[in-house]
Amino acid sequence: VPPQGGRKHPQQELIHIDTTNILFILGGAFVGLADIIGQRVGKTGIGFTNDMPESKKHAEAELLSKVLPEDLNKFGMIPEFVGRIPVVCSLDELTEDDLVHILTDPKNALVKQYTRMFEFEESELVFADDALRAIAHEAVEHGTGARGLRSICERVLQDVMFDLPEYGPGTRVVLHESDITGQTKPVIEQLVDNEQEGMIDSDEGIEKGEE
């Protein structure tokens, strides 16, 4: 490996790295690889033959599970590179349920991040179940996967986070499905303190007693 990175030159000093105990994990979308596999196994049209699943995505997943080193060679990878990859496997696309779990379950999940940011402004952020499902559905429809979840949340909450400091502490924002789809906009609710509620109740009691 060149010390400064970049291209190798004949007279350049190189650093030798022993890769014996280094695990390399490679991943990607590999667009077009399913077509190459389909030509090898005799599936000329993905999703249009009688013995293939009706869904094109399921058809591509079935073809990718049959990938061989020769398919990677035809895809454009040199044999020396493919020969150093001992294990090749395919992954299924994320479903809406998977994306909902990604939004809520991990330690650093997006829902927890945005909830914490709202807490800095002494505000409460609540994601309704239908809102989480709508975010996951939009990510699946756009084909952005888990990477698109943050952009969807940013688009929906951008104006709210900008206006939130003007309302002061004691606010709440509840996201619903209509807010995600764009039919409505999130509403910042101003909550009433318990002390103020108690004063109002006592005043009402005094007025009733006087009457």
Longest dimension (CA), the chain: 102
0.75 surpassed by pTM: no
Residue of 140, 133, 113, 116 lying closest to 175 (CA atoms): 133
Annotated domain spans of the chain: 1-92, 96-196
**pLDDT at 44 (0 to 100):** 55
The span from the first CA to the last CA of the chain, in angstroms, equals 91
Residue of 29, 22, 24, 23 lying closest to 90 (CA atoms): 29
- 3-state DSSP assignment of residue 115: helix
d(CA 203, CA 197): 10
- 3-state DSSP assignment of residue 188: strand
**Arch. (CATH architecture) of 1-92:** 3-Layer(aba) Sandwich (3.40)
Q: Please report, as a single letter, which amino acid is at residue 194.
A: N
Are 25 and 87 spatial neighbours (Cβ–Cβ below 8 Å)?
Answer: no
**pLDDT at 196 (0 to 100):** 47
Please list, in sequence order, all residues whose beta carbon lies within 8 angstroms of the beta carbon of residue 141, skipping any fewer than 6 positions away. Answer: none
Give the pLDDT of the chain (211 residues) as one tens digit per residue. 888 777 767 777 888 889 889 998 988 888 899 999 999 988 655 444 444 444 677 788 889 999 999 999 999 999 998 988 889 988 888 899 999 999 999 999 999 999 999 999 999 999 999 999 999 999 999 888 899 999 999 999 999 999 999 998 999 999 999 999 999 999 999 986 544 444 444 445 445 455 4
CATH of 96-196, one of 1.10.3720.10, 3.40.630.30, 1.10.8.60, 2.60.120.10: 1.10.8.60
**pLDDT at 58 (0 to 100):** 76
Q: Per the structure block, which two tokens stand in for 171?
A: 């606010």
Strands of 123-127's sheet, edge to edge? 123-127, 171-175, 188-190
**pLDDT at 2 (0 to 100):** 81
C-alpha distances out from residue 122 to 119, 166, 197, 209, Å: 5, 12, 19, 37
